[in-house]
């Protein structure tokens, strides 16, 4: 890929290559990072993180969150069904919706229903900004830990 990009930069110029390839690539990576972050952070309630003897594959999978991306759900191959994706990664994307519907009654209170989106998932901006403001670190002590806020990072000083 590097050889191809160098060849194209030589052929069409580095600025045009950056505009045609670099900028879309950076937007894609930023969006992918945001989607991944939102599946693991920013839920309305604090999600536990398990370590040591408390961690299991099932517990880890159940601490992810499904999200509704509105119009973008199909573009992402229904990755809004993230809990089932974590519990059963072998299920192909085109069966994630039906697998989620089948698993909801079994998971019961352990399944966190995603907030429904309009065409554009603007409601997720609040989840993202709240998480960035509040979820800074987890304690080094304990096998069940939650994100905590660093008051120096959030601008809130202890008195």
Residue 158 pLDDT > 70:
no
- Report the pLDDT value the prediction gives residue 78, as an integer from 0 to 100: 83
- Report the pLDDT value the prediction gives residue 96, as an integer from 0 to 100: 93
Of 146, 87, 78, 77, give the one whose Cα is nearest residue 114.
78
Residue 76 pLDDT > 90:
no
pLDDT in tens, 99-157: 999 999 999 988 988 888 889 999 899 999 999 999 999 999 999 999 999 988 766 65
- Residues for the chain: how many in total? 159
Please measure the distance between the N-terminal and C-terminal CA atoms of the chain and give it in whole angstroms. 54
* Alpha helices, H only, 2-154: 2-12, 14-17, 23-40, 57-62, 82-87, 96-107, 123-134, 151-154
Output the pTM of the full model: 0.80
- Report the pLDDT value the prediction gives residue 72, as an integer from 0 to 100: 87
pLDDT in tens, 15-64: 999 999 999 999 999 999 999 999 988 888 888 999 999 999 999 999 99
């Amino acid at each position: 890929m590097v050889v191809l990009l160098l060849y194209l930069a030589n052929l069409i110029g580095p600025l045009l290559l950056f505009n045609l390839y670099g900028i879309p690539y950076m937007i894609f990576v930023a969006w992918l990072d945001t989607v991944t972050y939102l599946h693991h952070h920013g839920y309305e309630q604090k999600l536990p993180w398990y370590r040591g003897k408390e961690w299991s594959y099932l517990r880890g999978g159940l601490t992810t969150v499904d999200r509704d991306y509105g119009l973008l759900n199909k573009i992402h191959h229904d990755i809004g069904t993230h809990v089932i994706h974590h519990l059963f990664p072998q299920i192909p994307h085109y069966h994630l919706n039906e697998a989620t519907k089948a698993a909801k009654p079994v998971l019961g209170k352990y399944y966190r229903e995603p907030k429904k989106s309009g065409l554009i998932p603007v409601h997720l901006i609040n989840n993202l900004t709240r998480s960035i403001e509040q979820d800074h670190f987890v304690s080094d002590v304990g096998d069940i830990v939650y994100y905590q806020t660093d008051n120096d990072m959030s601008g809130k000083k202890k008195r």
